[in-house]
Structure 1
Amino acid sequence: MVGYIYLLKIICKSSILIVEKLHFLSKQVFMPNILKKKEGNEMRLSKCCCMLIAVIAALSGCAKTVVDNPKDETEISDENILPNNTLPEETYSIEISTYHYKNINVEYPEIQGLKNKEREKDINQLIRNRILSEIIRTEDTVHLNELNMELECRITLQSEEFLSFYLVGESFIDGFKPFDDFYSMTLDIINATELKLSDFIIIDESLVKRLKKSTDVTNRSVEGGMDKKYLLFEIHRKNKEWMFEAYAKGLYGFVLEPNAIVIQIGVTYASGVYALIRLPGRIVDNQFIFDEPVKETKLYHKAICLN
């Protein structure tokens, strides 16, 4: 299109030169002998010139109308305009840091890249307080010097709304046997707060039934080769009232996954100290919706019920 405009400009200039040349020749040829026709010839040449200029101007005007709306410029502008005047979705990255002191090595996550740096700072402070003050107990120097702890951080869910992770490993005090450890944390990224199990699901009898009926269970011992039937046996024989109170008080942790919620429960030392029960479902409007309704079936063997 630009080349077309350039060609029209050349034609316009050439036409003007031709008109000027014709006008000059008319003076040389007609003036000596046809003085009376001078005015008429000049008038006709002027009219021709005007008509030619008008045609070129019209063509130039049509070409200009097309150029005023270039396709490329429109597409670039559309890419920069967000629908409904919304801002780009906020993202962040996770960096795994390690606390190290003598025989203590504990991994924990730190978020980076939030536009709101104050909120980013608050979230990281929540994580550090939980790790350092409640798990490692750095203020207790006697405990710190006797503690042996190795914990690995595993991220189970990272989204714009939530960050869910757990620390898994073992720890022991000098002179005692090691224990398998499980610590979890789920954070509200938008409000920079820690969330509880009761923030997502109702703690009631139906939850206890789901936990007892689930066969999707694991822990470090199972990962190491132990048959999970021992976990299932212990979970199935737990008292439902005790379970209800334990979860209502927030005694056990949980983590979110993209398509499930994983809930901790205590078991014997021989079975691994804790078990993780996975219940499939999804989060809708900040509430966890289970994939299947709980079935109304008997949970206990008759002999156990009589006890």
Structure 2
Amino acid sequence: MQFQQLLYFVAVAETRHFTRAAERVHVSQPSLSQQIKALETELGAELFSRARGNIALTDAGETLLPLARRILADTDTARQEVQELVQLRRGRVRLGATPSLCTGLLPDVLRAFHDLHPGIRLLIEEGGSHDLVRELARGALDLALVVLPLPTPSPALTTVELLREDLVVVSSAAASAPAPGRPVRIADLREQPLVMFRHGYDLRELTVAACRTEGFEPQFTVEGGEMDAVLGFVRAGLGVAVVPAMVAARAGRDLRVTALARPGLRRTIALAHRSDVAPPRAARELQRLLMSSRPGPHAEP
């Protein structure tokens, strides 16, 4: 009994027609009929009644049909499982993340993932949450790390909260502290020159909104940079910046890190993927690693 014979048998059983079954499995009708006859000979029983041109299952055919379907389904499952294992050796993962997460969260996680799966190519796209949501929706990314709430909530995306992270104020270690001896209040930023991220940065929107809640518009000395540029401008003494605690922890001794006074500012990071398409195996492995590697002291699950 051959796999191909079972495939042809199920096709005839479901179409009740030899010619249509042959078209369905992409073989000639004589070849299909020959294989069905060979299967019947091996089993010692007719599988179809062909009276008056009508194709019907015999008792033997009725017995074989659910077994054949199960064998074919198990074969498909085995093929898929093997393909997924192959993906873990030479697949790829397309991951989107905000620039601050690329600086703070991802380096250690991606290093651990690469150590486990050195054959997987990691394609990283930096962008704001709005851009990443759009790229996910059009299938250009497998996963994305985004800031909640999403700028445009979408039922087409599934999001799982990954961590909640405090924001802090960074200033040049060579300059005066923004609030000597105490945490920085949002109101203190009224008198501080700010180094500000470009438009579309989640951190920009969060900081500006907090200042407006306190009744003032923040004053920018430099604006429009990415994370590394902002930190560089702060080191040069051009102003202070509000950044994630994980980024500040990696910033180096030439930057002073000061907490924000309660209630402070916090952002929620989530892992997102499309709801209608399961991520590839390699992407699911990275997802598992991200969920099990939530950062420690500066984040709150």
* Range class of TM-score, shorter chain: under 0.3
Structure exhibiting the larger radius of gyration computed from Cα positions: 1
Q: What is the TM-score of this pair, normalised by structure 2? A: 0.24
Higher strand share: 1
Taking structure 1 as the reference length, the TM-score comes to 0.24
